[in-house]
Amino acid sequence: MFRTAIVPASLFLLTACSHTGNPQAERASASIAVAQPRKVQDFERVAVSGTISSPGASSMVAFLVPGRALQVFPREGEPVKQGQVLAALDSVNLTHALEAAHAQAEAARAGAQRAEEEFRRMQQLFDSQSLAPNDFAKFKAAFEAAHQQFQQALAGEGIAKKNLADARLVAPLGGYIARRMLEPGVMVGAGQPVFEIATLDPIEVNVGIPETDIRLVKVGQSATVTVPALPGRAFKGTVKVVNISADPATRTYMTRIAVPNPTRDLKVGMVAEVSITGTQRLDMTVVPAETIVRDPQGATLVFQYFPEQKRVFSKRVEVGVLLGRDIQIRSGLKGDETLVVAGQHALRNGMQAAPAAAERR
């Protein structure tokens, strides 16, 4: 644990006293708490940012037949089960088409039966040499044609039956409705997407691993996922896929982290911070996470306190991964500095400061 001094309620900022020449203002100083970096040993980690997505991308669901939407059931965000009816088209015409196809099949069946009976009688005459071969061939051809017509009629009936069934759109998988693109009464074409279904358990986090760190990432490694939208919570995941080629634009390797999501708190599109745990232990320099501040350009800084001068000066550092309430410092510190861990957000470069503990003499 870090030994830090308690920050007083009031922080005194150094103002433009050098211009006024006010000795009392010159002696004003900010009250701070300080601590030194620590050396710890922990598993190597790779920290990256990514976006939450549905495994294998979302499924776009469409009707296979055109028609007018009669009923549309689930809305965005609602759960659906595999096989659940999502929407239904007006099926009056399709019902009549099935009836017509069935009638044609029955007529073709009767015609095929008559042709078969006639063929059997002619075959007996042909076998007894009472019918010329040419005449027998005609009856045989008529029988085969009637049989083919019957098969075609059965196929037409099967298509009509499937078209009628396809007028009811069912969910091909379980998940959640991400988008609904259909309302009752609207005409829809065959193959036109009308629903987007996303699965949320598990979810995936897609990240890009820099070329310098890809050697540290392997399939099966554990990962910790945090989401700014859900502060204070961490989710455990596993490296599922590591791409073998880098993105030519970013020079990063696409990596997918599978994360169980039974409560569905993680949503598609959320930004996530991922820390992938390696297999080797490394010596690390860490400081309390609140020690880090950012300049207007977003660079990470710390304020170093110099007791001899009783002043603070900013120092740029490169941060690594979070380790509990601490954060890794990859570069910028030697390890023996005295750093400001409280009150630093009111400081300016070169400002006078005094640790609160020193004021209790």
Which domain CATH number covers 330? 2.40.420.20
Among residues 87, 84, 75, 60, the alpha carbon closest in space to that of 197 is found at 60
Q: What pLDDT, in 10s, does the model give residues 23-35? A: 443 445 778 888 8
Cα–Cα distance, 12 to 16 (Å, whole number): 13
Out of 218, 250, 281, pick the residue that ends a domain. Answer: 281
Degrees (nearest 5) of the Cα angle 34, 39, 41? 145
Tens digits of per-residue pLDDT, 198-244?
888 888 999 999 888 888 888 999 999 999 899 888 899 999 999 99
Residues 104 and 79 in one domain: no
pLDDT above 70 covers a percentage of the chain that reads 89
Residue 116 sits in the same domain as residue 143: yes
pLDDT for 237 equals 94
Mean pLDDT of the chain: 85
Question: Final residue of a domain: which of 119, 144, 166?
Answer: 166
Domain presence at residue 9: no
Whether residue 7 lies inside any domain: the answer is no
Determine how many CB atoms are found less than 10 A away from the CB of residue 41.
Answer: 8
Q: Do 229 and 102 sit in the same domain of this protein?
A: no
Domain that holds residue 182: 58-88+168-198
Closest C-alpha to 41, from 326, 346, 275: 326
Total Cβ atoms within 10 A of residue 253: 19
On whether residue 219 sits in a domain, the answer given is yes
Q: Are 214 and 248 members of one domain? A: yes
325 or 107, which is more confident: 107
Same structural domain, 193 and 204: no
- Beta strands 353-355 and 30-35: pairing type? parallel
For the beta carbon of residue 352, count every other beta carbon within 10 angstroms: 18
Q: Please, which residues have CB within 8 angstroms of residue 46's CB and are 6 or more apart in sequence? A: 209, 213, 216, 217, 275, 276, 278, 321
Instruction: Look at residue 129 in the predicted model and tell me its pLDDT.
Output: 87
- The model's pLDDT over 58-112, given as tens digits with 9 standing for 90+, comes to 789 999 999 999 999 999 889 899 999 999 999 999 999 999 999 999 999 999 9
- What pLDDT, on a 0 to 100 scale, did the predictor assign at position 9? 33
Residue with tokens 């859900």: 230
Q: Is 221 in the same domain as 152?
A: no
Structure tokens at 227: 């989401």
Say which CATH number the domain at 208 has: 2.40.30.170
Give per-residue pLDDT as tens, 153-193. 999 999 999 999 999 999 998 888 989 999 999 999 999 99
DSSP string, 7-65: PPS--PPP-THHHHT-HHHHT--EEEEEE--EEEEEEEEEEEEEEEE-TT-PEEEE-SS
pLDDT for the residue 7: 37
How far apart are alpha carbons 136 and 315 in whole angstroms? 105
Residue 130: pLDDT band (50, 70, 90) is: confident
In terms of domains, do 104 and 159 share one? Answer: yes
Look at residue 11 and tell me if it is in a domain. no
Residue 286 lies in a domain: no
Q: Find out whether 176 and 80 touch, Cβ atoms under 8 Å.
A: yes
Tally the domains of the chain: 4
Composition of the chain by helix, strand, coil, percent to 5: 25, 40, 35
Please give the average per-residue pLDDT across 119-139, as a whole number: 90
Q: Please report whether residue 12 resides in a domain.
A: no
Domain boundary among 281, 314, 343: 281
Q: What is the CATH classification number for the domain harbouring 128?
A: 1.10.287
Radius of gyration of the chain (CA): 38
Indicate if 266 and 208 belong to the same structural domain.
yes
One domain, residues 190 and 300? no
Instruction: Decide if pLDDT at 325 tops 70.
Output: yes
Average pLDDT over residues 250-272: 91
Give the CA count within 13 Å in the CB-facing half-sphere of 162: 9
**226 occurs within a structural domain:** yes
Flag whether 3 is in a domain: no
Which sign, positive or negative, has the C-alpha torsion 15, 21, 24, 28? positive
Whether the predicted pLDDT of 357 surpasses 80 = no
Task: Verify that 203 and 274 share a domain, yes or no.
Answer: yes
Length of the chain: 361
pLDDT value at position 11? 32
Residues 225 and 269 in one domain: yes
Span of 100-109, 126-135, 340-349 with lowest mean pLDDT:
340-349
203 with 272, same domain?
Answer: yes
